[in-house]
A and B are shown apart, each in its own frame.
Chain A
């Protein structure tokens, strides 16, 4: 559905993206992660044709954004963090204006989408009177109106309350189920990405340093929570057996090491164990490993 190949971009001589590639299959939800300045927004800018890459190309459904932007974006919807509408106009007028750039405004379709995002009562009010959550719902409506096959979400849940975040997540997942829509989800809310995405890529300093499936890393090397003292003896023992110390008492063990033997070894070394439990490997663990340099670039 979307293929980014070798994206490279410099701003003022400073590299923002270095040979970044990724591919989204139809119906997939793909997360793009990274700290501020990692290159997520630049990637999205290139995908939408707002930023011209120094090298590389993006194709949406086989059409190059760089060579035929208007055709490539015909079935694309996008939502940005803090969407900037024309505040002095109503939500309805905003939709009309934005849809005029997408081939025309269909009143019936607009009413349906507005109802679906729960904005029927307020769509006639000026946008300046909307809360952040309502703006995001209107943003969702404008993104859904061209009946997109690809949705680009740039930090869409930033600033939303927990209820709003859940509503948004459920909405997107339902859309995928109903229409088989493909989603590129750009965020730094790791828990959200983990709950929504099938695959993720992590960017660091403009380079893709990881790509993998969410289920895949959840089933990878398990993580253990260990609370023991004295800490220095425990750490020395763990390092000797090849364990990675992830911080906050979280450790990994080499595959060949039996956890029971680790406990036995620690006790024999004079360590008092207060807690030892297997925990689920989260996206946050993977993310921290990668950004701390523990993970191997993919």
Chain B
């Protein structure tokens, strides 16, 4: 019960800060932009070509579900990562910088528990943000093209292709993949959280995290690293796309998520150890 009270307080703090909402605003604007592009004749022709080359009917797959999938595929790693890194990078380091931590340290709470509360808040934020993007993107797409239609999935990098003509099946797969993206993005938040526990400025925690993410993405694209791609964090984070496959390959999915969960636990542990051994002068 007390943990929930503490978590509630942490979420109250998190959502009372304007910068937490910046990401929501940015995504709504970007979704509107993507929808505008999708409504353009040239864009529709391009999509028609891709869908029909695969022997499918364009009218079935030019839908709110397909648009929502595209929004999440294109935006989450590049735009979402900025806000996850910003919020998670701030969560400990900013409170230390502002002096709030010394007020907290006058309380009978262990450092481990304090970090656990903060980490839980970061995970909830990350997860709920991903679902917000999905739901708001879908709502806007419904307003633009109607709710009916199936889901068309094409992700060349991870070699995933799928088509769900029925709305309910497409919606279910989209919801499942949103949960997958949520878990994937928690890894990014965990990296920022770990750095936030170090004795560094909040902005430094954010920048280092984004640097790691982008360097990982760049190196993964090198042909030399192709045989080793599964060792890259961003490749593992892209495993959510496997949840879109017609026939779910659970061993492949579980392997990737086990890797990510293990990495998250390790990142939290390193952050905790750094935080535990630090001195905080009054």
Contact = CB atoms under 8 A, between A and B. Distances in A.
Given A97-B9, A100-B2, A52 B279 contact: yes
Contacts of B282: 41, 44-45, 48, 50, 80, 154
A231 B98 CA distance: 54
B99 interface: yes
Interface residues of B, number: 30
Contacts of A88: 16-18
Given A41-B281, A50-B282, A69-B108, A80 B102 contact: yes
B102 A84 contact: yes
Contacts of A171: none
A42 B280 CA distance: 9
Contacts of A221: none
A105 B5 contact: yes
A70 B109 contact: yes
A70 B277 CA distance: 16
Most A CB contacts (10 A, CB to CB) among B13, B106, B109, B114 go to B106
Interface stretch (A23-31, A71-79, A290-298): A71-79
Given A50-B279, A97-B13, A101-B107, 6 more contacts: A45-B280, A45-B282, A80-B102, A96-B12, A102-B107, A146-B107
Interface in B9-37: 9-10, 12-13, 16-18
A51 interface: yes
B99 A100 contact: no
Interface string A41-62: 1101100111110000000000
Nearest to A93: B12
Given A89-B13, A104-B2, A77 B106 contact: yes
Interface in A90-146: 93, 96-98, 100-105, 142-143, 146
A260 to B, nearest CB: 51
Of the four ranges (under 10, 10 to 19, 20 to 34, 35 or more), the interface on chain A belongs to 35 or more
Nearest to A16: B281
B168 interface: no
B105 A102 contact: no
24 contacts: A45-B281, A49-B105, A70-B110, A72-B108, A73-B107, A73-B108, A74-B108, A76-B108, A78-B106, A80-B102, A80-B106, A80-B282, A84-B102, A89-B13, A89-B16, A93-B12, A96-B9, A97-B9, A97-B10, A97-B13, A101-B108, A103-B108, A104-B5, A105-B5
A9 to B, nearest CB: 8
B246 interface: no
A121 B7 CA distance: 28
A138 B6 CA distance: 20
B39 to A, nearest CB: 39
B8 interface: yes
A85 interface: yes
B2 A84 contact: no
B100 interface: yes
B42 interface: no
B5 A85 contact: no
Interface of A: 11, 41-42, 44-45, 48-52, 69-74, 76-78, 80, 82-86, 88-89, 93, 96-98, 100-105, 142-143, 146, 152, 154
Nearest to A79: B106
Contacts of A76: 106, 108
Given A69-B108, A104-B5, A98 B279 contact: no
B13 A86 contact: yes
A153 to B, nearest CB: 11
Contact of B108 (A44, A102, A143): A102
A69 B16 CA distance: 30
A51 B280 contact: yes
B78 interface: no
Nearest to A53: B279
Contacts of A104: 1-2, 5
A100 B279 contact: no
A61 B7 CA distance: 30
Contacts of A98: 103-104, 107
Contacts of A96: 9, 12
Contacts of A83: 103
A155 B176 CA distance: 55
Most B CB contacts (10 A, CB to CB) among A101, A103, A142 go to A101
Contacts of B9: 96-97, 100
Interface in B246-282: 277, 279-282
Interface in B61-116: 98-100, 102-110, 114
Contacts of A85: 100, 103
Contacts of B104: 98, 101
A15 to B, nearest CB: 14
Nearest to B4: A100
A101 B280 CA distance: 18
Contacts of A71: 108
A93 B8 CA distance: 11
Contacts of B281: 41-42, 45, 50-51
A73 B106 contact: yes
B279 A70 contact: no
B2 A103 contact: yes
Nearest to A152: B106
B12 to A, nearest CB: 6
* Smallest CB-CB A-B distances: 3 pairs: A84-B99, A78-B106, A101-B107
